[in-house]
Amino acid sequence: MTMKGEKSWPLIFIICFFNLYLQRVSAQVPIPAKYDGFVYRTEDSQSSIMIEAFFDPLCPDSRDAWPPLKQALKYYSNRLSLIVHPFALPYHDNSFVACRALHIANNVNNSTTYPLLELFFKHQEKYYNQPTLNMSRASIVDHMIKLMVKVVGNSSLSAIVAGFKNRETDLTTRISFKYGCSRAVTGTPYFFVNGFPLLDSGSPLDYKKWRSIIDPLLGQHSAEPLHFFL
């Protein structure tokens, strides 16, 4: 997503390449114990197509991209796998906290990760820059904890609070951002299909577009060509 009036792409390019430069001149970026992202569905079949989506939970374009992608996942059933990587856009002031909340929910109960993502999409306007301009960081975190409890459950409140105090969840959220940078992600939503980035990334893809991308990979007829970066 690119906000009107902001030159966000050059900024993100600078951040990404600076990150990569630092990786090369300093120490190795910590390698996580498991692959980054939240598994929505993975299929063991070698014929399954892997989609990776980079979403910012406070990005309107990420929000709009999710329903048609879910529709495609339902249509293709076990022929599609999906992993969503949280990617906090730097010009969304509260995105890092929201991405951290997703990691915490995933640690506490991974069945609540996607319901929480959808809840952020539903209420994301409350966390935009302007409405939270006069709120402290602690107040924003407290507000998000109350939102998390709605899907993770009241019994998990202490674990959620502890998660925001745990340095590990902060580092994991940073790793997610660095991982996106390492794959040259410059905005959200950003999509990879079988490891290749889509040319149409950065904007929501409708269901028809997903059909035009996936059908040829499954040997089915499509009237539109594939849209990959080459």
Query: What is the pLDDT of the chain when averaged over all its residues?
Result: 87
DSSP H or E segment with residue 160: helix 157-165
Extents of the domains making up the chain: 8-217
CB 84 within 8 A of CB 55: yes
- End-to-end, the C-alpha distance of the chain in Å comes to 22
Residue 13: band (very low, low, confident or very high) from pLDDT cuts 50, 70, 90? low
CB 93 within 8 A of CB 101: no
* Confidence (pLDDT) at 32: 85
Nearest Cα residue to 124 out of 158, 72, 172, 89: 89
Q: Calculate the alpha carbon distances from 133 to 92, 94, 137, 146 in Å.
A: 12, 10, 10, 19
* Confidence (pLDDT) at 211: 97
Whether 55 shows a pLDDT value over 70: the answer reads yes
Q: What's the mean pLDDT in 47-75? A: 96
DSSP H or E segment with residue 51: strand 49-55
* Confidence (pLDDT) at 16: 58
Compare 218 and 17 and report the one with higher pLDDT. 218
As a whole-number percent, the residues of the chain with pLDDT over 70 amount to 82
Q: What is the pLDDT of residues 121-141, one digit of tens each?
A: 999 999 999 999 999 999 999
CB 20 within 8 A of CB 38: no
pTM of the model: 0.84
CATH class of 8-217: alpha beta
Q: How far is 115 from 180, CA to CA, in rounded Å?
A: 22
Whether 3 shows a pLDDT value over 60: the answer reads no
* Confidence (pLDDT) at 199: 87
* Confidence (pLDDT) at 15: 57
Q: How far is 124 from 107, CA to CA, in rounded Å?
A: 22
Q: What's the mean pLDDT in 20-46? A: 73
* Confidence (pLDDT) at 201: 76
Q: What is the pLDDT of residues 189-207, one digit of tens each?
A: 999 999 999 987 788 999 9
